[in-house]
């Protein structure tokens, strides 16, 4: 069987990666809208309603506009939205199948919101611990996320890649979203089950792809004062049967003592690490911000929605 796929926003960073990942698949037909018709709502509506799957790789307002073009009574076309427009909308299913119960919701939903990259790392680590009471829902959390510059989209990619040489400020990692209102914060709290948003510090580095999302914990402030082993055991049990989420051996430190952000690049794998001792624990998620953090996650959800093998076209 061949599935018809329309990528709305095909020329953006996520759209290009989805297109690239689907190009070799013989079960997919990409519906390519003519360049001069891309902004014609009537033509776009034709493509949306002809597709089995529509990927929305657009700004929030444009994503909402595209959804509005679905014909009344069309229950076949399924949306996968990579914007932030619908991630906390109760009428949409959050596209992180590794969360308990979420895979079946994705399988039967017509509207799926693809998670944000920073949010993916935070939610994978925190949700199991909130669910089992290890972390109280009102616990104050902080999170630091180091990402490659490709997560900033075309303009940031151009800033890093089109200059003959970078200025000193761009050779250094740079903290951003200093107003403490990053667009991923609503989903980070809502999906993980927290009643308050974490204090979140995203950092962009002078490398293209890769991501490290870290969450520190203080056992003395948590019920039962869990040890690193306790936290590791709970995460390992939660993700025991998952192909794309791997809980790494407790305290495993790479040779040299450094944890690089790029080891999962070009895969759909997320690695979860637990470090620490009786007084402090550090959780770290490592994955590709363009893989499990964007296009790979979108295709994984598409596979589930269409009844295909979940890893078709993906490397775990």
Q: What's residue 1's pLDDT?
A: 81
For the chain, give the number of residues. Answer: 316
Q: Which domains does the chain have, with CATH numbers?
A: 3-114+294-306 (3.40.50.720), 117-289 (3.30.360.10)
Which of 207, 232, 201 lies closest to 288 in space, CA to CA? 207
The pLDDT tens digits of the residues spanning 144-175 come to 999 999 999 888 999 899 877 788 888 899 99
Pairing mode, strands 78-81 and 93-94: unpaired
Instruction: Tell me which residues of the chain have a pLDDT lower than 50.
Output: none
Q: What's residue 170's pLDDT?
A: 85
- Which residues are catalytic, by number? 117
Ordered alpha helix ranges (H), 53-108: 60-67, 102-108
Q: What's residue 137's pLDDT?
A: 98
Residues 6+ apart with CB under 8 A from 253: 259, 275
Q: What's residue 37's pLDDT?
A: 85
Radius of gyration of the chain (CA): 20
| Token pair of 163 as six digits | 């200059």
Q: What's residue 216's pLDDT?
A: 98
Helices and strands: H and E segment counts in the chain: 10, 13
pTM (predicted TM-score)? 0.96
Q: What's residue 168's pLDDT?
A: 84
Strand, helix or coil at 13? Answer: helix
Q: What's residue 182's pLDDT?
A: 97
């Amino acid at each position: 069987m061949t599935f018809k796929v329309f990528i709305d926003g095909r020329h953006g960073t996520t759209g290009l990666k989805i297109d690239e990942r689907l190009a070799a698949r013989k079960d997919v037909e990409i519906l390519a809208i003519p360049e001069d018709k891309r902004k014609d709502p009537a033509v776009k509506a034709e493509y949306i309603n002809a597709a089995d799957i529509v990927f929305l790789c657009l700004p929030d307002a444009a994503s909402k506009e595209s959804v509005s073009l679905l014909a009344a009574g069309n229950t076949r076309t399924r949306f996968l939205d990579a914007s932030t427009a619908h991630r906390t909308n109760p009428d949409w299913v959050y596209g992180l199948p590794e969360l308990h119960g979420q895979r079946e919701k994705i399988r039967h939903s017509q509207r799926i919101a693809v998670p944000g990259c920073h949010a993916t790392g935070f939610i994978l680590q925190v949700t199991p611990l909130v669910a089992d009471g290890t972390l109280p829902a009102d616990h104050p959390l902080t999170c630091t996320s180091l990402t490659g510059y490709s997560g900033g989209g075309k303009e940031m990619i151009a800033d890093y890649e089109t200059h003959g040489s970078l200025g000193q400020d761009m050779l250094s990692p740079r903290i951003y979203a200093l107003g403490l209102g990053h667009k991923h914060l609503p989903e980070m709290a809502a999906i993980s089950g927290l009643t308050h948003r974490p204090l979140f510090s995203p950092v962009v580095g002078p490398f293209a792809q890769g991501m490290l999302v870290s969450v520190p914990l203080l056992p003395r402030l948590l019920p039962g004062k869990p040890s690193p082993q306790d936290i590791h055991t709970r995460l390992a049990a939660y993700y025991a049967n998952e192909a794309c989420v791997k809980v790494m051996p407790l305290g495993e430190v790479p040779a040299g003592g450094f944890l690089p952000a790029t080891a999962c690049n070009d895969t759909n794998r997320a690695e979860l690490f637990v470090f620490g001792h009786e007084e402090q624990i550090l959780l770290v998620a490592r994955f590709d911000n363009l893989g499990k953090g964007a296009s790979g996650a979108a295709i994984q959800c598409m596979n589930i929605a269409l009844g295909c093998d979940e890893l078709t076209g993906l490397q775990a």
